[in-house]
Every structure is written in structure tokens, then in C-alpha cells.
Structure 1
């Protein structure tokens, strides 16, 4: 659904409605003239008006004087102009695909209204496109916001759901269901725009997870103070990864293969342990026997206070609200998901196929 396209279609719709109203007005003027000025019956007046505007070439219903014929000439001209205007607007609508686009926009609007727990990508530049590709590969529902018409067109060609508008505005975020969204990714080219977007998103939905892109270290700190849950700087992160690739190439190849999915054997996933739902809450890692039953390896546990336990031991207790980070094959991770119970906050997605 695009705001600029909606405005354009609303304009065409108003012009078509104006033409129809003008045509009805001409019909009424002609009917009233023949009824009250010429003194004809309502049936004859309406009939004369219709055949005059239709230019079918029938004769006069009743003889007309000079005044009546002059009015009839004016009526014909008004009818030709009005009908010509309507035909012109209708032809423009057909040529520009107004009716087809209108149906598509209505479908997109219904899709947006039905979204819940979805992801919002702000910006469809190179970074935004890569994020969209990853989201699509993971099978998550998401919507894109971008103000550039060319970016909107490219996203549309790729089959993405996109809204053309300013992501820093509350109205735009509300249109894409910010109140029901699970996460927003601010990948706009300007650090200031990303900051405004995060502030607006957190105000409209305090519980949403906000990820932001930063160009400088100073912007990174400001975005963190602005409420962003995670801030990624492509330059800082890229530099660190390049250095790590130079110093520890095998480690980086292994990690990249898991994160990006280029490794066809191993994947990583996270699970939220909900109290009263997950059966392992309150048990130790040794008691739960997750490794024995599923084959998946528990890499880390994130506590609700933010504390990260890397390489948990057999004595580590699973607490309510813990986020468990695991690694394994697709089958092992699915088995782990079943063992942990029906986790509503995060279902295990099917690993993407290569």
C-alpha cells in the first residue's frame, strides 16, 4: 500500500465522481427546463433530455421555439463536454491500471491489517534489501517502509509488502501496524532518521524490539540512549569481522556458515522458556538431558536481567524467561523445540534451503 499511489487514485476517483455529478446536474437542468419552461410532462422532459445528451438523432418530442432550440444546443454542448470529460478520466484510469492497482492496494491493506507479531524494515537500500531477503528466507512476516518511489517499485517487483511513506512519522508507523509488531529495523541512510524512527516506535509500542543502523560511533551511542535494543554499525562491525577473518579464518568461516546458512549441516536458534509452559523450567541442564534426547548443543543462556551464561554446565538451572541459544542440525533443533514445549513467543522456523 503506497501513500502517494493512494493519493493519485483518490484524485482520479474524485475526478470521475465529479464528472458523474456534473452529468447528473446536466440531466436535471434539461429535465427542469423542458418541464417548467416548455411546460411538458415529466416523462417527456426526461425523455427529451436523455435523447439530446445521447445525440441519437431523434426528432423533437414537442415543437420547440427559438428559445427552446437555443437551450437544446447549449444542453448538447454541456452534455458533450461532460461526457467527454468522464470518458477521458475513465480512459486514463484504464491505461494507468487504476482498477487493477486499486484491487491490489485493497489486498495489501487487508494484509497489513491482519499482521501481528511481524517485523518492520525501514529503508529499502542495500542494507534493507539484504535484511528483507534474510527475513523472506526465514519465513517471517514483514513489511517495508520507504519514501523513494524507485525503491518502492523494486520492492514491489520482488514481491514484498511495502508502504511508501516517511518512517519517522507516527502516522506511517501506525499504518504498518507498529502497535502489533514484534520488531522494527531502522536501516535508513541517515542516523538522525534512524533515531527519530526508534523514538517514535518505542513511544507507540514500548515493548517492541528496535534494531538500528549507525554510521558513526557517536550515532551508535545516541541510538542506544534513544531506546534501541541493538545498534549495528556496518563500518565498525565490518572492520571487526575483517580483522577476525584475517586472524582466525577457520573460526570466522565456521561462524559465518552457521549465521548465514551457507553451512548446510548446522544452524543456530533461540528459545524463550515461558513459565508454566516449558517443562524444563526449574531443572538443571543435566536433569533436562537436552543433549542426550535431541543431540542439540546448548551454547548459552540469557537471563532476564541480561546476564549471559556462555557454555552452561550441567548444574546450570533453567529459569523462567531464559532465552536458550542452541546449535545443531535442522532435525536436532526441531526435536529440541518439541521437547521444550509449545513456545508461543518464538517458534522454530524451518532452516532455509540452499
Structure 2
């Protein structure tokens, strides 16, 4: 989507081109209908008149036709001068290059599949984008402010200008092929509309939303959000935990942001078609012995969370294993649980 300046420039280019075409058609019609010349002679006379090449008239002109020709020359000079001025400005300001970039961006967007949509590139959205980039996650940013879109583009992110609460904008971001949408807009109402629109367009998509109040959290959950994060509530809890349990918080922060020891938390979904460990207990699968990664929790397909599972816990289709370990350990574990899929290897943050 072009910004207002480029939109105005495009409008002026179109108007100037149409103006020149109108002058050419008007001159041709005059010589054809009034002077009774052939259509080819009329078009040729108009062309040499507007181009001011200095050729002689096709046929002798009377006083009336000479006055018209003089007016045609003057009008042509004005229209052509304006058009040349607009095209020069468009070239110097990068209008045509901008069009090429937009077409290239659209080609990239059209090929998106299995990606994440980040709605809002404010303070929170920018941190989400950094995390997605660190994890090599394909994503696209959708923001209504041109300034934020330009900022995201300058940082190397794929970004579109548009209102995330509107269906047409979400469709521009390929919501139908996305796997997750993150509503990080500043307004709770906008996040609510975004979740509702996203779920309506793609019922299987995972929706994560930002909320400012506890009431907004409840409403977003009722609207279908799979997870709701309140920066104020979460921030308050983390501040209290940092004061009461500083060592634990240091460890947790290291996991979340990739600390010096490079310990990560990763989630693995057990697919019935690819996982060879279904029906086995944790001891029988030997995940800890083979990979070194620790299974810290199991979330069943019905939503039940088993924290600190024992060796006798049975692995079932649809389970999500929450595991902790180094990047290498998680890579090995991924190969065990999903041997035919491409692993998403955690990368250490800069």
C-alpha cells in the first residue's frame, strides 16, 4: 500500500497522462470533423503540432484552423510540461522503485504459508518481532500507522499497512494460511475485534492477544483467544517474584531470553502420523537418556496439564511435551519425536 505522498503522485501522473491523451484526441477530431481530413492525416497533424517538430501542415489551413492550431500548441506545451515535471519528480522520489518493491513484497506475501501474523508494531510488538526473528519464525507485521510500517521495513521485517480489525487487511496478510495471529495493538477493543475477525476467517488459527485489564482478559478468552497476556498483570507478578525469589527469576529469564548457558524451553506436539513413541511411557521412550533434554510437563489433548511427569506417564497422540535443554539436546529430541519433520532449532539471541 502506497503512502499518501505516492498516492498523490500517482494520481497526478494519471491526470497528466489522461490530459495529454485528451488533447491529442481533441486535436485529431477537429481536423477530422471540421477540416474533413482523413483520420490518419488528422492524427499526424495533431502529433507534429504537439511535438513542435516544425514540419509543414498536411493541408493548407484557413484563419480559423490556424487559430485552433495555435491554441493546440499552447495547450500541448502546458500539458506536456506538467507531465514531464510529474514524471521527473516521480523518478527522483523513487515512485517507480517503490512500485517494484511493492510488487516484490506482494509476491513474497502471496507465497506465505504456515506463518505468524503480528498485529501492531509498538513497544510490545517490536519485542515479539525480535523473538520471532531469533527463532527463525516466518511472520508478517500488520500495522495501521505508516511510520511503524516503514520502521519495521527498515529493520528487515515483512510489513503491511492496514487495520488488523478489518477482514480485508487480515486477508492481505494471508490469514487463511497462517497458523497463529498475535494481537499486540494498544487498544483492548481493537485486539478483541482482531481475534474475532481472525477466528471467523480461519477457525483453526491460534490467537494470542494483549490485554490491559482483567476484564479485557476475560472478554478476549470468551471471544476465542487461545492465550491472553496482560503486560501489567504479568509484569507485577514478575516484579514480586524477582523480589521474593531472585535466583529462580534469574534462571527463568535465562530460559526465556537465551542466557549465557543457552538453556531453552521448547514445545513438541506428538503427531499420530509421525511420532514413533506413542503408547510408550517416558521410561520406555527413553527421551532423557537419548537426548539429555528434560520433559518438565505434558499437556494432554483435552487441556489437562501434568507438571513434573513421572517415568510411568504414557505418551498419547495430541499431547504437547514441554521440554527443557540446550539447543543440541532439543534438536536430538526433535529427531526422536518427529523424525520426518524439519526441526525448528532454537538460536541464541544476540
TM-score by length of 1: 0.92
Pick the aligned partner of 1:164 from 148, 161, 165: 161
1:258-269 superposed matches below 5 A:
258-269=255-266
**Residue 348 (structure 1) aligns with:** 344
Answer yes or no: is 1:134 the counterpart of 2:131.
yes
Report the secondary structure of 2:109's partner residue: helix
Answer yes or no: is 1:50 the counterpart of 2:47.
yes
1:1-354 superposed matches below 5 A:
2=1, 5=3, 9=6, 12-342=9-339, 347-354=343-350
Q: What is the aligned length?
A: 350
Mapped to 1, the partners of 2:58 and 2:198 lie a distance apart of: 69
Report the secondary structure of 2:313's partner residue: coil
Asked whether the equivalents of residues 143 and 176 of structure 1 are also in contact (C-alpha less than 8 Å), the reply is yes
Asked whether the equivalents of residues 269 and 348 of structure 1 are also in contact (C-alpha less than 8 Å), the reply is no
Mapped to 1, the partners of 2:66 and 2:171 lie a distance apart of: 59
Mapped to 2, the partners of 1:191 and 1:38 lie a distance apart of: 70
Mapped to 2, the partners of 1:46 and 1:308 lie a distance apart of: 81
Mapped to 2, the partners of 1:218 and 1:353 lie a distance apart of: 34
Report the secondary structure of 2:203's partner residue: coil
Mapped to 2, the partners of 1:188 and 1:43 lie a distance apart of: 61
Deviation at 1:204, TM superposition (A): 1.1
Deviation at 1:144, TM superposition (A): 1.0
Asked whether the equivalents of residues 299 and 326 of structure 1 are also in contact (C-alpha less than 8 Å), the reply is yes
Distance 1:328 1:68, change over 3 A: same
Distance 1:232 1:43, change over 3 A: closer
Mapped to 1, the partners of 2:61 and 2:76 lie a distance apart of: 19
Superposed CA offset, 1:2-37 (max 9, x none): 3x53x7656544543443343233333333433443
Mapped to 2, the partners of 1:138 and 1:89 lie a distance apart of: 45
TM-score by length of 2: 0.93
Superposed CA offset, 1:68-106 (max 9, x none): 211111211221232123223212322331101111111
Mapped to 2, the partners of 1:46 and 1:186 lie a distance apart of: 59
Superposed CA offset, 1:191-214 (max 9, x none): 111111111111111111111111
Report the secondary structure of 1:304's partner residue: coil
Mapped to 1, the partners of 2:187 and 2:38 lie a distance apart of: 71
Deviation at 1:320, TM superposition (A): 0.3
Distance 1:46 1:168, change over 3 A: closer
Asked whether the equivalents of residues 280 and 315 of structure 2 are also in contact (C-alpha less than 8 Å), the reply is yes
Unaligned runs of 5+ in 1: none
Mapped to 1, the partners of 2:243 and 2:50 lie a distance apart of: 82
Deviation at 1:318, TM superposition (A): 0.3
Mapped to 1, the partners of 2:192 and 2:315 lie a distance apart of: 36
Distance 1:33 1:265, change over 3 A: closer
